Structure 1
C-alpha cells in the first residue's frame, strides 16, 4: 500500500512539473515576434529590426523570432534578385515597446521567388501587418498552401505524400508556435525534399498526444491556394 501511495504521488509530481513547464514554454512562445521565410530561388535576404541587421543569408528556409528592443517597432525584409534589383517589405511588430496590449507578437511567413512574385501571411486584425498576395505559381501544381496554428500549444505541420495517412512532420524550422504560420508549395524546400508533386494530404503533429491531426481523410489534388488551421480545440479546419 505504501508503495502504491509513493508511486501515485510521484506521478502527480511529474504531471505537475510537465504542466508547469508546458505553461511556461507556451507563454514564452506566444510573446515574440517572428518571421519564417521560404526562399526557393536563394535570393539574398536581409532582415532588419529598426536599423539593426539580425539576419542576412540566401538560405532556402530561414526563421527568426525575438522580442525587439525599444525603437524596433518595424521589421524590414530586403530581398535582392540575381540581377541586382532590390525590393523590401516593412512589417509591424506587436511585442515592441510602445505598443499597447502586446500580449502576443506579430507572426509572419513569407514565400518569395525571383519570377513568380511573393506571398506574405500576416494578420487580418489588430496591430500587425495584413496579409498580401503577389504570388503567381509558375507550374500547374505550385499553388501556395498555408498552415496556421491558432491553438495555445506548439505543433508541427505534417504531410502525407505517397499514400493516405502516412504523415511525416516538418520539424526543420522547429515548432509551429501559437499564432505562427508557414507557406508551402511544390517548389519550396520541404515539399521538394519529401517529393510533393500534384497531390498532398495536410495535417498537424500534436506533441502532447503524440498523434497526427488530419485535415482530410485522403490525398488531395493541389489545384488552388488553400489554408489549413490548427484550431483552439486541437482540430484541423480548411479555411479555404
Structure 2
C-alpha cells in the first residue's frame, strides 16, 4: 500500500459513519456492516434492532401493493442506518473507523490483513464441473427455480435477479458435492438470499413480489 495516498473521509454506504481511509474503493466501515445492508436490501431480515415491515398490510400483492411495500422496505433501510453500525461494532471486536490498509495497521501495531489467494485450484475445478453440468441441470428443471418455483429468464444478464444459476441443494461447506442430483436451478437473487441465511419460505414470498413487479400481478400465478 502506498503511504503517499491522501487520507480520505468517506461515509459508510450502510450506516453513514465517516471512515478515514487511504483506499478510494472502500465504501463500508466493515464487512459485517456491508452484509447487514445486503440482507436488508433482500427485504427479508429487516433491521438488527428487530424492526420489520408488516407484509400482511399489503395483501393481496397487486401492482400498487408491490410498489407501496417496496417503498416501506426502502424507508426501513434508510431510517435504521445507525442500527446496522451499532450491530457491526458489537459483533466485531476489531471494529474501527480508521484506515484498514496494511501501512496504517502496521502503525497501530496490528498485523497485516490476510491476503486473498490468487489461485484456488479446487475452486476452479468445481467451477469447471458446474459449467459442464449447468446446461443439463437447467434443461432438467425446465428453467424453473427450485427454491421459489417461479420461471427464470434465460435471456437475462448474469447480474439480473431473474438470471438462472446452478445451486447446491446441500452446500459444499456442509459436505455436498457437485453430483448432478445435488444441483438445481435457482434465480440469482434466490441463490444469494439463501447464502445469506434466509429460509426458503421467506425467499418464496419475496420472489413472488419481485416476479409480480416484473411481469404484472397475474404473472406470479
Identify whether the pair has TM-score above 0.5, normalized to the shorter chain: no
Q: Normalising to structure 2: TM-score of the pair?
A: 0.25
Higher relative contact order (CA 8 A, sep 6+): 2
Greater gyration radius? 2
Which structure is higher in helix share?
2
Which structure is higher in strand share?
1
